[in-house]
């Protein structure tokens, strides 16, 4: 019995906050909240608190923070969560990395940037040791995200554009246990110069206030995985991209059909080397087909290696979107002089052919101007709306970015 007890794994229920942090629910925490409320420092608080959640894995702080932000910004994932409901949860964020690896190692600020970009967010990323990332620069970002603009009209319910600030910091500097961590900042109190940290690891620490200067110092330590300091990101979702339930059509996130995992960097890097080796201008469609059908020396991969299709949507609206996307690809391929058999080489997840995948890679491999000219000028049928063309250009741009950054250590 004693031997068994000695081998038992440790078990913990939360941690006591260090003196540098003030519990949100404490008497002092409530006082700071009241001060922040009276001074208009809660712009991000209410959207975020509605979606505040606990991460499902100990190393999922970055993923959970991004899910919290995406839902707070009302981003439609264009994927079903449960039944007919579309809602962000952590397993959907698999575009830039392998979630099984994340369970073991967590993510870096670079990974976070990639994930946010893939979901259509605008990302203003700062590493703490950069020249334009001083304490005052950070304070300015905090105010932009947390402080409401002044208004003399108490009845004005018009929505102010929301920026959410996410920080990547060292728990050790904060006096907490653990190492690197991600959290959104939900409020700012000017009187105490404190920020409210919504810690998604609620099994460990609850929401708490901390001095703005301390959070800034906590972003300075070097992340050994990247060789750079930690930092912060201002995230926003442009209002024209938001969707309401009454919209017949709306702009969609950056990618709704495909993902390109960061683990595929070696394959994308090899393809980029091939593109660089070509002479005589941009790659042709025939050369792309030759490369991905192993007719060119050096290729041993299929297009599905860098274009990972998402699950085929189940409801009528989503199926209609996919069908329009597929019809547009068919028309583009026919215009290219490459007939496409309806059911040949289709991937079971999206029912698109390998030729479809190669064509998207072709669009990603040419200049943005040429890409736009091809997609916008093809004589498409009425089923291929402008929205569908925009989405195809977005998909190609995402893959182009993945190929371009395949040999870079930072974004």
Residue range 354-375: average pLDDT? Answer: 89
- The pLDDT score that the predictor gives to residue 266 is 81
The last residue of a domain, from among 174, 207, 241: 241
The answer to whether residue 403 is domain-embedded is: yes
Residues 231, 348, single domain; the answer is no
- The pLDDT score that the predictor gives to residue 90 is 94
Distance in angstroms (rounded) separating the CA atoms of residues 115 and 69:
12
The answer to whether residue 251 is domain-embedded is: no
- The pLDDT score that the predictor gives to residue 85 is 87
- The pLDDT score that the predictor gives to residue 5 is 53
**Identity of the highest mean pLDDT range in 160-164, 185-189, 293-297, 346-350:** 185-189
The last residue of a domain, from among 215, 241, 267: 241
Residues 290, 381, single domain; the answer is yes
Confidence of residue 387 (pLDDT cuts 50, 70, 90): confident
- Given 199, 223, 265, 356, which residue is catalytic? 199
CATH number at residue 96: 3.90.70.30
Question: Is 410's pLDDT higher than 50?
Answer: no
Mean pLDDT, the chain, integer? 82
Residues 224, 272, single domain; the answer is no
- The pLDDT score that the predictor gives to residue 180 is 96
- Given 61, 95, 96, 128, which residue is catalytic? 61
- The pLDDT score that the predictor gives to residue 352 is 62
Strand pairing partners for 23? 208
- The pLDDT score that the predictor gives to residue 249 is 39
The last residue of a domain, from among 178, 208, 241: 241
Q: List, for residues 44-89, the tens digit of each pLDDT value.
A: 999 999 999 999 999 999 999 999 999 999 998 877 788 878 899 9
Confidence of residue 261 (pLDDT cuts 50, 70, 90): low
Question: Is 298's pLDDT higher than 50?
Answer: no
The answer to whether residue 21 is domain-embedded is: yes
Residues 199, 332, single domain; the answer is no
* Sign (positive or negative) of CA dihedral 326, 327, 329, 333: positive
Residues 281, 200, single domain; the answer is no
Would residue 117 show up in a list of annotated catalytic residues for this protein? no
Residues 135, 49, single domain; the answer is yes
- Given 117, 181, 265, 355, which residue is catalytic? 181
- Considering the entire predicted model, what is its pTM? 0.69
* Least confident span in 192-206, 232-246, 258-272, 332-346: 332-346
The answer to whether residue 333 is domain-embedded is: yes
Q: How many helices (H) and strands (E) does the chain have?
A: 14, 13
Residues 333, 186, single domain; the answer is no
Question: Is 242's pLDDT higher than 90?
Answer: no
Residue 253, φ and ψ in degrees, nearest 5: -60, 170
The answer to whether residue 220 is domain-embedded is: yes
**Residue scoring higher pLDDT (361 or 346):** 361
Residues 182, 44, single domain; the answer is yes
Within the chain, what is the greatest distance between any pair of CA atoms? 78
The answer to whether residue 389 is domain-embedded is: yes
Counted domains in the chain: 2
Q: Residues near 147 by Cβ (< 8 Å), separated by ≥ 6?
A: 39, 40, 41, 43, 188, 190
Pairing mode, if any, of strands 163-170 and 180-189? antiparallel
Residues 237, 349, single domain; the answer is no
- The pLDDT score that the predictor gives to residue 344 is 39
Residue range 298-325: average pLDDT? Answer: 65
In this prediction, what percent of the chain has a pLDDT beyond 90? 45
Residues 197, 275, single domain; the answer is no
The answer to whether residue 248 is domain-embedded is: no
Residues 306, 214, single domain; the answer is no
Residues 20, 166, single domain; the answer is yes
Would residue 181 show up in a list of annotated catalytic residues for this protein? yes
Do the beta carbons of residue 398 and residue 118 sit within 8 Å? Answer: yes
Residue range 156-171: average pLDDT? Answer: 83
Structural domain of residue 351, as residue ranges? Answer: 258-407
């Amino acid at each position: 019995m004693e031997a068994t007890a000695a081998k038992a794994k440790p078990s913990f229920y939360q941690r006591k906050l260090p003196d540098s942090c003030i519990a949100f629910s404490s008497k002092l925490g409530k006082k700071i909240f009241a001060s922040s409320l009276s001074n208009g420092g809660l712009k991000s608080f209410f959207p975020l608190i509605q979606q505040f959640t606990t991460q499902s894995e100990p190393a999922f702080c970055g993923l959970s923070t991004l899910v919290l932000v995406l839902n707070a910004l009302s981003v439609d994932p264009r994927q079903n969560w449960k039944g007919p409901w579309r809602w962000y949860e952590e397993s959907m964020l698999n575009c830039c990395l392998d979630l099984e690896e994340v369970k073991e190692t967590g993510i870096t600020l670079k990974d976070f940037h990639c994930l946010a970009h893939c979901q259509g967010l605008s990302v203003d990323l700062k590493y703490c040791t950069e020249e334009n990332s001083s304490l005052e620069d950070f304070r300015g970002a905090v105010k932009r995200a947390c402080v409401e603009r002044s208004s003399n009209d108490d009845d004005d319910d018009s929505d102010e554009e929301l920026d959410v600030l996410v920080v990547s910091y060292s728990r050790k500097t904060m006096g907490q246990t653990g190492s690197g961590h991600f959290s959104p900042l939900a409020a700012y109190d000017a009187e105490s110069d404190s920020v409210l940290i919504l810690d998604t690891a609620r099994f460990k620490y609850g929401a708490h206030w901390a001095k703005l200067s301390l959070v800034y110092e906590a972003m300075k330590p070097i992340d050994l995985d990247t060789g750079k300091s930690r930092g912060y990101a201002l995230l926003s979702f442009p209002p024209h991209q938001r969707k309401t339930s009454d919209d017949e059509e709306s702009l969609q996130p950056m990618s709704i059909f495909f993902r390109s995992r960061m683990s595929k960097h070696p394959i994308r890097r090899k393809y980029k080397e091939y593109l660089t080796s070509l002479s005589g201008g941009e790659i042709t469609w025939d050369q792309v087909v030759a490369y991905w059908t192993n007719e060119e020396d050096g290729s041993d991969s299929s297009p599905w290696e860098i274009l990972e299709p998402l699950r085929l949507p189940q409801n009528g609206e989503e199926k209609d979107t996919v069908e329009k996307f597929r019809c547009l690809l068919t028309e583009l391929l026919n215009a290219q002089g490459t007939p496409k058999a309806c059911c040949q080489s289709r991937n079971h997840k999206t029912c698109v052919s390998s030729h479809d995948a190669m064509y998207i890679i072709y669009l990603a491999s040419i200049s943005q101007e040429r890409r736009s000219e091809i997609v916008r000028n093809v004589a498409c049928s009425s089923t291929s709306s402008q929205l569908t063309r925009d989405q195809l250009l977005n998909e190609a741009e995402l893959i182009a970015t993945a190929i371009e950054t395949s040999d870079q250590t930072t974004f």
